[in-house]
Amino acid sequence: MEIMNLVVTGTVGAGKTTFIRSVSEIEVVDTDRKATDDVANLKQNTTVSMDFGTLQFGDEMALHIYGTPGQTRFDFMWEILIERAHAYVLLIAAHRPSEFHHARRIMNFMNRQANIPMIIGLTHSDCEGAWSSEDIALALGYQEITQQPPIVLVDANDGESVAIALVALVQHYMEITAKAEVAV
């Protein structure tokens, strides 16, 4: 079986679970558990959650999609996911500027853990108070458009929109790996 692993990460409420549910062919696996204070180092009854969905598109070919927990404190869980990932999408709710700092921290963490292709998916971009993709890129620290990863607008509730975002991610993966092969 040939498998490609993609990770969907992002801020709380950006639509990670919905994104995976919208496109997965199986019921999304959700590993909800109560975390201990020591592990979470935060409030009691916090839930650790990791979503998993899959797309089978041949007898021996499958796309596995993993969603990270919404909290950065579970970094070790993220490591488990990111170390096997081929690429990832960072989901950000465009109408919640208060979350952009957290999104940047997630991105920095992910990029330090693994040098893999990524795209940014903006959800809720039609909501009141949503920032433009250009301004969100600035908030994430991208000063030059040439340095920034692809940014796509996505409706996590819409399977077609999610599929288009996945096309952009896979396309970007292909471009990056092709460049890497040329460099070798």
Partner 1 sequence: MSLAGHLSEYSLAEIFHFVQDGNKTGVLSIEPDIGASKFIKDPHYISFQSGRIMSVANGSGLGNRGLLKMMSQRKWLSSEQVSTLETQVSLLTQPLGTYLKSRNAVNTEQLSLLFNSQVVATACKLFEIHRGQFSFNPKAPLAYAEMTGLSLTAQEVALLGLRMLKNWDGLATKLPDPESGLQRFSTNLGGLRLDTPELQVWKLSLGEMPISKIALSLGLDVDKVQQIGFRLSSIGLVHEVSVEPAQPPVNKMMDVPKPVCVDGGNAAVPVSASFLSNLMGFLKKKG
Residues 6-35 that bind partner 1 (CB under 8 A): 23, 29, 31, 33, 35
**Backbone torsion region of residue 160, taken as left when φ is above 0, otherwise alpha when ψ lies between -120 and 50, otherwise beta:** alpha
Residues in the chain: 184
Site for partner 1 (CB under 8 A): which residue of 13, 47, 150, 164? 164
- Should residue 184 be labelled a site residue for partner 1 when binding is judged by CB under 8 A? no
CB 135 within 8 A of CB 122: no
- CA gap 89, 8 in Å, rounded: 5
x/- map, 127-156, partner 1, by CB under 8 A: --xxxx-xx--xx-x-x-------------
Residue 55 CB-density burial (10 A; 0-12 exposed, 13-18 middle, 19+ buried): middle
Least separation in angstroms between CB 161 and partner 1: 8
Site for partner 1 (CB under 8 A): which residue of 16, 86, 124, 172? 86
- Should residue 113 be labelled a site residue for partner 1 when binding is judged by CB under 8 A? yes
Lookup: tokens for 79: 């490591």
- Should residue 42 be labelled a site residue for partner 1 when binding is judged by CB under 8 A? no
Site for partner 1 (CB under 8 A): which residue of 66, 119, 124, 149? 66
